Amino acid sequence: MINISELAFRYRGRGSNLESSFSMQVQEFAVPLGASTALVGPSGSGKTTLLGLIAGTLRATSGSIIVNDQAITGFSDNELGRYRIRSVGQVFQAFELLGYLTVIENVMLPWYISGNGVKADIRKRAADLLLDVGLESKQSAMPGELSQGEQQRVAVCRAMLNNPPVLLADEPTGNLDQANKQNVVDLLVEQAKRNNSTLLMVTHDESLLNKFDSVLDMRNVAQPLEVKSQR
């Protein structure tokens, strides 16, 4: 279960000729355990920011985020790192596989970071995940040798390696064709259900919404307080 209450976030970025700030506030927000939820809303409504806050890569200015009874808003940077490794699986729009690792090594990347568990067991788990997504023959291939759909399937396997209770996907189908979009979403939903993970996925594609248990429109849960960008 993900519970969010009285959450506020303010961001102020600075570049050479660009200054922008972004703030949003979420009053109440809850995603039940094991459910798959699509997060929709217009650009700039704070979908990616919300995923970042839940993943712990962004820090809330105030309010609380409780993930499976853990108040992650009070975590230190190191605790957030451990939390991400143990409790959160993330799938990114651009796959973000490491080009110098083989497919199975990419799936095992969370283990290379955490070192938790026996390597042989983790390798078997990675191989099983690749078998599930039909990439068992590509274990030793490099990411550059795969199609985009295959790369995203590897990214899903990587996110699932540690059986995370929370699975976050930020527009994972943004770079895929229609057939691959359906496949990847089916895979995410299926893996989340199999693992009893809470899936929260950002998407702009309305054709995919029927695959989720619920749909949350950011406009109903969050209010962007200020969006300012000036050159």
Partner 1 sequence: MSGALFLGWRYLARHRFKSGILIASITLMLFLPAATRLLVQDSATALTARADQTPLILGARGSELELVLNTLYFHAETPAEIENRTFVEAQSTGLADFIPIHSRFHAQGAPIVGTSLDYFDFRGLHVASGRQMGLLGECIIGANVARRLGLGPGDSIISSPETVFDIAGVYPLKLTIAGVMEAAGTADDDAVFVDVRTSWIIQGLGHGHVDLAEPEAGGAVLSRRDGVVTANASLTQYAEITRDNISAFHFHGSAESFPLTSVIAVPPDQKNTALLRGRYQDNELLQLVVPGNVLDDLLETVFAVQNYVILGLAILSFATIAVITLVFLLSQQLRRGEFHTLLRIGASKGYVAILVASEIGFVFLLSAILAAGLTLVTRYYAMQILQTFLTL
The first and second tokens of residue 130, run together, are 């690749």
Residues 83 and 56: their CA atoms lie apart, in Å, by 8
Among 98, 131, 209, 227, interactor with partner 1 by CB under 8 A = 98
The answer to whether residue 15 forms part of the interface with partner 1 (CB under 8 A) is no
Number of residues that bind partner 1 (CB under 8 A): 26
The alpha-carbon radius of gyration of the chain (Å, integer) is 18
Among 45, 49, 84, 156, interactor with partner 1 by CB under 8 A = 84
CB 58 within 8 A of CB 23: no
The answer to whether residue 70 forms part of the interface with partner 1 (CB under 8 A) is no
Whole-number Cα distances in Å, 61 to 3, 53, 58: 16, 10, 10
The answer to whether residue 109 forms part of the interface with partner 1 (CB under 8 A) is yes
Nearer to partner 1, 35 or 55 (CB): 55
Among 114, 148, 195, 223, interactor with partner 1 by CB under 8 A = 114
The answer to whether residue 69 forms part of the interface with partner 1 (CB under 8 A) is no
By CB under 8 A, the residues from 120 to 159 that bind partner 1 are 158
Whole-number Cα distances in Å, 148 to 60, 84, 167, 175, 180: 33, 25, 20, 8, 9
The answer to whether residue 193 forms part of the interface with partner 1 (CB under 8 A) is no
Residues 6+ apart with CB under 8 A from 15: none
The answer to whether residue 92 forms part of the interface with partner 1 (CB under 8 A) is yes
- Chain residues binding partner 1 by CB under 8 A are 55, 57, 77-78, 81-85, 88, 90, 92, 96, 98-101, 105, 109-115, 158
